[in-house]
Amino acid sequence: MSKSTRLDSKENESEHLPIYQHKAKLIQAVKDSTFLVVTGETGSGKTTQLPKYLHQAGLCKDGKIGITQPRRVAAITVAQRVAQEMQCNLGREVGYQVRFDDCTSPSTVVKYMTDGCLLREILADPVLSQYSVVVLDEVHERSLNTVTYKIDLFLVYLLQDILLGLLKKMFSNPAKTPKGRSIPLKVVVMSATLETDKLSAFLGGCPIFAIPGRAFPVTCTFGFAVGPKDIESTGYAKEVVKVALDVHTSEMAGDILVFLTGQSEIERACDLLYEKAESIDYRYDVQDQTVEGLLILPLYGSMPTDQQRQIFQPPPSGIRKCVVATNIAATSLTINGIKYIIDSGFVKQLNHNSRVGMDILEVVPISKSEAQQRAGRAGRTSAGKCFRIYTKEFWEKSMPEYTVPEIQRTSLTAVILTLKCLGVHDVIRFPYLDCPEERFILEALKQLYQYDAIDRRGRVTKLGELMVEFPLHPGLTRAVLKAASLGCEDLLLPVAAMLSVENIFIRPGHPEKQKEADKKHRALAAKSGSMNDFATLLSVFQSCKSSDRPSAWCKDNWIHWRALKSAFSVETQLREILLRLQQKDFPVDTFDGNKSELFRRCLCTGYFTNVARRSVGKVFCTMDGHGSMVHFHPSSSLFDQEDELNWVIFHDVLVTSRVYIRTVCPIRYEWVKDLLPKLHEVDVYELSGVAREEVTDEEMIKWETREAAKRQPEVSTEDV
Ligand code: ADP
Ligand code: MG
């Protein structure tokens, strides 16, 4: 088949999408108003078609069309698709920009990007002078269920709320084009769900354009495997595999989409499926004789791009495709040909855990509306079936009606700092779409104060201005900056990178293999010379980097090569950010302590909020005022060494039946003695005055404009 006929067929294909019939009206609606809400079923063609239509209608004569996606995978794959449809090379007219990967050129006029990327652009150019249209896509998805990199969490997940608020503030008066813009900006907000009235009301009652959907019925059945008592069970992955094989051997042709929660779980399930599928005897077992094989494809955020492409390709004839995915396949990506859904009922979600007083990634039951969205993916082209592995009772008792927006569930530290650096001083009255509780805002202010990112009056400090540049947790950023000021960033940058990607340690399911992997990991920890999990990360990073055959080295040591490769790339990016900052006014410190303590002392400046002291026996007690009882996680190299230690810092917490601390490092009390009082120094209510100064709106606007003007516009190539 020649190249052009293939492209033509893509163009035809897109004419069958529901959005196609509304093309002219849709273009007119965008032209007619500043804000427009567009809604339509997932798969109706919003993300791929609307930007193309606007391009065809000449809306990018005076500026670019920018489309944001909450997830990098979506931004990349969609841009690929649209470039194909528009018959251009990716990176020319159609391009994308995501963190660590800029595929655009001066000729790019349709630009897909992550939310974080657009926010960076607003930081540098508050009126977005290069754009004629900005499309905020997937606005219903205001929680980042799939974690691409942990690095994303702290800045990206709430960005849609910030972006909406900022755009509303800046462009809500069409009569007044902001200074620096010659033409008014058009803002399109797209969503798949029925929250459109709320969105329209938020945007000053703007028009709503609804693309009528066409969905086929999906029959849902409940299972027997997971009931309300199994909330913390991990057995559901096995059950999902069993059901998938049942479907494969007993149902008519049609592809399967399985919903699980995260990368390692998905890979394990795929291994298991593969093993079992190998032994199926197709002569007797399969009812529908046209199905003679199973093609198993994982799908999660940090997957390499070439593998992602395979997901969209139809399977060879006679082969059934089975995609095992995170929630990313619920709304962000549409895979054609799916007829069967297998729903685990769980999702990985970032929650604020009041028991330990911090945000943690947890596997939690999905909401009923989420379950319906998942089921709907089976009915796009014909009637489908959805197999829920949980019981009806689980549905009734354990699943909430709706998912709570992330901004109302998680710590706002990075968001508040970003807002402050954007010149938004009054962070309480900022127009959030879903206003977070005031106490969370105050909690964030308190943390920022503890890290010295803001002063007592709530103004951003020099350190705060440096901190906001890093797409990392503020504590980790502070440790990196401390190290850099002492000239030893080589110790901290790799660690920050390693903590920003998926877990690099492979833990196989098979007990024998598990033992072998554990042994290798212990050897790696010992090699680092000290019983300190941060040092192990550094040592793994360095050993692999200096190895002649890094992928073989990883295989040998049960290390995730792909995750480590991402860590290498993250480290380079962080180093570039640091270099850029160091060219300006960068602090210089001296260290007169013992050299061997340098690494841990730097860590302490960022992790003094995560200090634990031995309580009794193997139990430790946190020092942040919550006084939670915590245990070392078995994955820690300190797990067996507890007896000699009294004080530790830790990176994060895992809550199951117990509270575990992970990535642990022994410290001396003297190192944190002077920092700990800071944890209790300010009362959050003292800061509430700071957050809500009694000033008039006019004064506020003046102040904000002045602050914004102080910020030198600069082109930033990295995306958070
Ligand atoms: P919406 O945004 O309304 O959910 P999309 O524009 O994402 O809809 O999808 C429209 C169609 O384009 C779907 O049928 C989907 O399968 C197809 N599509 C999207 N991205 C790709 C891709 N990378 N490869 C192949 N098909 C794709
Ligand atoms: Mg879409």
State the DSSP string of 79-99.
HHHHHHHTTS-TTSSEEEEET
- Ligand 2 centroid vs 28 CA: distance in angstroms? 20
Q: Which ligand is nearest to the CA of 51?
A: 1
Does ligand 1 come within 6 angstroms of the Cβ of 682?
A: no
Does ligand 1 come within 6 angstroms of the Cβ of 48?
A: yes
Q: Which two tokens stand for residue 50?
A: 């609307």
Does ligand 1 come within 6 angstroms of the Cβ of 81?
A: yes
DSSP string of 1-29? --HHHHHHHHHHHHHTSGGGGGHHHHHHH
Rounded to an integer, the average pLDDT of 215-233 is: 81
Q: Which two tokens stand for residue 149?
A: 């990199």
Mean pLDDT over the full length of the chain: 82
DSSP string of 363-377? EEEPPHHHHHHHHHT
Residue 573: CB atoms within 10 Å: 21
Residue of 10, 15, 49, 81 to test ligand 1 pocket, by largest number of atoms within 8 Å of CB: 81
- Ligand 2 centroid vs 189 CA: distance in angstroms? 11
Q: Which two tokens stand for residue 99?
A: 């963190």
Does ligand 1 come within 6 angstroms of the Cβ of 305?
A: no
Q: What is the 8-class DSSP label of residue 315?
A: P
Residue whose tokens read 């990075």: 414
**Residue 407 clears pLDDT 60, i.e. is over it:** no
- Ligand 2 centroid vs 245 CA: distance in angstroms? 30
pLDDT at 150: 30
Does ligand 1 come within 6 angstroms of the Cβ of 310?
A: no
Looking at residue 465, its amino acid is E
- Ligand 1 centroid vs 41 CA: distance in angstroms? 12
> Based on the number of CB atoms within 10 Å of its own CB, is 548 exposed (0-12), middle (13-18) or buried (19 or more)?
exposed
Q: Which two tokens stand for residue 600?
A: 């841990």
Taking CA atoms only, the protein residue closest to ligand 1 atom 20 is 78
Residue 393: CB atoms within 10 Å: 13
**Residue 449 clears pLDDT 60, i.e. is over it:** yes
Q: Is 539 helix (H, G, I), strand (E, B) or coil?
A: helix
Confidence at 342, pLDDT banded by 50, 70, 90: very high
State percent of the chain over pLDDT 70: 83
d(CA 144, CA 318) in angstroms, rounded, equals 36
d(CA 291, CA 548) in angstroms, rounded, equals 44
**Residue 157 clears pLDDT 60, i.e. is over it:** no
CA distances to 48, 68, 313, 604 from 3, in Å: 20, 29, 16, 58
d(CA 122, CA 130) in angstroms, rounded, equals 11
Q: What is the pTM of this model?
A: 0.67
Taking a C-beta distance cutoff of 8 angstroms, is the pair 612, 623 a contact? yes
Does ligand 1 come within 6 angstroms of the Cβ of 380?
A: no
d(CA 689, CA 482) in angstroms, rounded, equals 30
- Ligand 2 centroid vs 74 CA: distance in angstroms? 8
Taking a C-beta distance cutoff of 8 angstroms, is the pair 514, 508 a contact? yes
- Ligand 2 centroid vs 241 CA: distance in angstroms? 28
Confidence at 544, pLDDT banded by 50, 70, 90: very high
Cα atoms in the 13 Å half-sphere on the side-chain side of 599: 20
pLDDT at 600: 95
Confidence at 690, pLDDT banded by 50, 70, 90: low
pLDDT at 302: 66
Residue 452: CB atoms within 10 Å: 16
- Ligand 2 centroid vs 599 CA: distance in angstroms? 45
- Ligand 1 centroid vs 290 CA: distance in angstroms? 27
**Residue 408 clears pLDDT 60, i.e. is over it:** no
Taking CA atoms only, the protein residue closest to ligand 1 atom 10 is 45
Taking CA atoms only, the protein residue closest to ligand 1 atom 17 is 334
Q: Which atom from ligand 1 is nearest to the alpha carbon of 48?
A: 6
ipTM above threshold 0.95: yes
- Ligand 2 centroid vs 196 CA: distance in angstroms? 15
**Residue 682 clears pLDDT 60, i.e. is over it:** yes
- Ligand 1 centroid vs 42 CA: distance in angstroms? 9
**Residue 153 clears pLDDT 60, i.e. is over it:** no
Looking at residue 302, its amino acid is S
Taking a C-beta distance cutoff of 8 angstroms, is the pair 252, 286 a contact? no
Residue whose tokens read 């010295």: 452
Q: Which two tokens stand for residue 419?
A: 């807002």
Does ligand 1 come within 6 angstroms of the Cβ of 373?
A: no
d(CA 189, CA 160) in angstroms, rounded, equals 10
Taking CA atoms only, the protein residue closest to ligand 1 atom 25 is 312
Residue 634: CB atoms within 10 Å: 10
Does ligand 1 come within 6 angstroms of the Cβ of 77?
A: yes
**Residue 719 clears pLDDT 70, i.e. is over it:** no
Which residues are placed with Cβ below 5 angstroms of ligand 2, an ion? 46-47
**Residue 673 clears pLDDT 50, i.e. is over it:** yes
d(CA 417, CA 467) in angstroms, rounded, equals 9
The helix or strand, by DSSP H or E, that contains position 294, with its residue range, turns out to be: strand 293-299
What angle do the packed helices 489-498 and 598-607 form, to 10 degrees?
50
Of 332-336, 441-445, 519-523, 590-594, where does the model show the most confidence? 519-523
Confidence at 70, pLDDT banded by 50, 70, 90: confident
Tens digits of residue pLDDT in 184-213:
899 999 987 657 888 899 898 999 999 987
The helix or strand, by DSSP H or E, that contains position 494, with its residue range, turns out to be: helix 489-498
Rounded to an integer, the average pLDDT of 536-543 is: 95
Q: Where are the alpha helices (DSSP H) in 422-487?
A: 438-450, 462-467, 474-485
pLDDT at 710: 46
Phi-psi region of 529 (alpha: psi -120 to 50; beta: other; left: phi over 0): left
CA distances to 535, 609, 615 from 672, in Å: 19, 9, 18
pLDDT at 582: 94
Q: Which ligand is nearest to the CA of 140?
A: 2
d(CA 241, CA 193) in angstroms, rounded, equals 30
- Ligand 2 centroid vs 331 CA: distance in angstroms? 7
Tens digits of residue pLDDT in 92-131:
999 999 876 789 999 999 999 988 788 878 877 888 999 9
Question: 634 Cβ partners below 8 Å, 6+ apart?
Answer: none
Residue 145: CB atoms within 10 Å: 25
Of 7-16, 464-473, 694-703, where does the model show the most confidence? 464-473
pLDDT at 227: 79
Residue of 328, 334, 382 to test ligand 1 pocket, by largest number of atoms within 8 Å of CB: 334
Does ligand 1 come within 6 angstroms of the Cβ of 191?
A: no
Does ligand 1 come within 6 angstroms of the Cβ of 568?
A: no
CA distances to 13, 392, 418 from 707, in Å: 50, 55, 13
Residue whose tokens read 């944890």: 679
